[in-house]
Amino acid sequence: MRRDLLKFLLFAVAILVAPLAFKGGYLMNVLVFAGINTMLAVALNLLLGYAGQISLGHAGFFGLGAYLSGILTATYGWNAWLAMPLAALAVGMLAGLIGFPILKLKGHYLAMATLGLGIIIYIVFNETVDLTGGPSGFSGIPNLAIGSLVFDNDLKNYYLIWAFTLAVVLFCLNLARSRVGRALRAVHDSEVAARVMGVNARILKVQVFALSAVISSLAGSLYAHTMTFVSPASFGFNFSVELLTMVVIGGLGSIYGSFLGAALLTLLPELLRGAQDYDILIYGGLLMVMVMFLPGGLVRGIPDLFRKLAGRGEGAGNA
């Protein structure tokens, strides 16, 4: 337990001092989005990595949080700190209601059902023009503020977003170590065996689906108040697949792996901008290599790789 706490504290300190290394600029803006993506990847990892339930519709929950918080504050004048939890509650309740029927499905049927859910939400964003602005997007969303402190630049937003992200990471680390986390792993390994051991697998899956949606909604609200503008293009199928890729590359069933996957897939496209037309090819090639040689994800694959290299070095030395 102390080791886990020490690891988290080191992680938090690294996040805290990171701006000193980058000293503002465009990269700070990228790190803000790395924080939002980490929240989303952690949320999806709870569902996919721990409970073994795939979702291709999490971009929809992300978008619902963004739009609900944005509309409540910009159109109806609500306080953002009140709109964010209300949006998260509404999205969590929606996910709970939808979760009961669709989580009876398994494998590719569940993937298709969640994909359909994401597409329906995306169409609603586009078609409800009077409410959401349709394809043109919704603007005028206020920045978050605490008294006279307005989060209106990258540095302020960095600390705001990462404060929420660290809270989510700490919560999910504790959840993963708890009895609920062990029950989720049991459902992931064998739902039948988990039921025999007294785990109510159906309720547990719905609960983790709703929790995952709540965290995604919170990330969406933070995104909306950081960007002050939202449009349906940010919450489509492609982003759901991107989130899934973050979780798989970082490492299924690993909270810190979610951070690594989110950080890599947020930073990589920016680093490859100089490659112009070849950036997509390089991006895809790197992903293929990582999946082939690090199938357990970065968080497990990198230590394994070092152990293999160390073993070869010792073998060569003995020879």
Q: pLDDT by residue (tens digit) across 11-38?
A: 999 999 888 877 667 788 889 999 999 9
Alpha carbons 216 and 173: distance in angstroms, whole number: 17
pLDDT tens for 224-263 read: 999 999 999 999 888 888 888 888 888 888 898 889 889 8
Could you identify the residue written with the tokens 């689906």?
209
Characterize 189-214 residue by residue with b for buried, 16 or more Cβ atoms within 10 angstroms of its Cβ, and e for exposed: eebeebeeeebebeebbbbbbbbbbb
pLDDT confidence of residue 307: 74
Alpha carbons 133 and 120: distance in angstroms, whole number: 17
Average pLDDT of span 36-57: 92
Q: Is the pLDDT of residue 66 over 70?
A: yes
Task: Round the average pLDDT of the chain to a whole number and report it.
Answer: 87
Q: Annotate 274-297 with three-state secondary structure.
A: HHHHHHHHHHHHHHHHHHHHCCCC
Two tokens, residue 14: 């690294």
pLDDT confidence of residue 23: 66
Q: Is the pLDDT of residue 296 over 70?
A: yes
H or E element in which residue 146 lies: strand 145-146
Q: Is the pLDDT of residue 313 over 70?
A: no
- The rounded percent of the chain whose pLDDT value lies above 90 is 51
Q: Is the pLDDT of residue 314 over 70?
A: no
Average pLDDT of span 276-284: 67
Judged on CB neighbours under 10 Å (0-12, 13-18, 19+), 137 is: middle
Could you identify the residue written with the tokens 């043109």?
136
Q: Is the pLDDT of residue 319 over 60?
A: no
Q: Which residue has the higher pLDDT, 268 or 129?
A: 129
Backbone angles phi, psi at 228, to 5 degrees: 60, 15
Characterize 99-119 residue by residue with b for buried, 16 or more Cβ atoms within 10 angstroms of its Cβ, and e for exposed: beebbeeeeeebbebbbebbb
What is the Cα Rg of the chain in Å? 20
Average pLDDT of span 110-116: 91
Judged on CB neighbours under 10 Å (0-12, 13-18, 19+), 20 is: exposed
Alpha carbons 107 and 111: distance in angstroms, whole number: 6
Q: Is 176 helix (H, G, I), strand (E, B) or coil?
A: helix
Positive or negative, the CA dihedral 214, 219, 222, 228 is negative
Two tokens, residue 237: 């199928």
Positive or negative, the CA dihedral 80, 82, 85, 86 is negative
Q: Is the pLDDT of residue 283 over 70?
A: no
pLDDT confidence of residue 316: 58
Average pLDDT of span 176-181: 91
Average pLDDT of span 143-170: 93
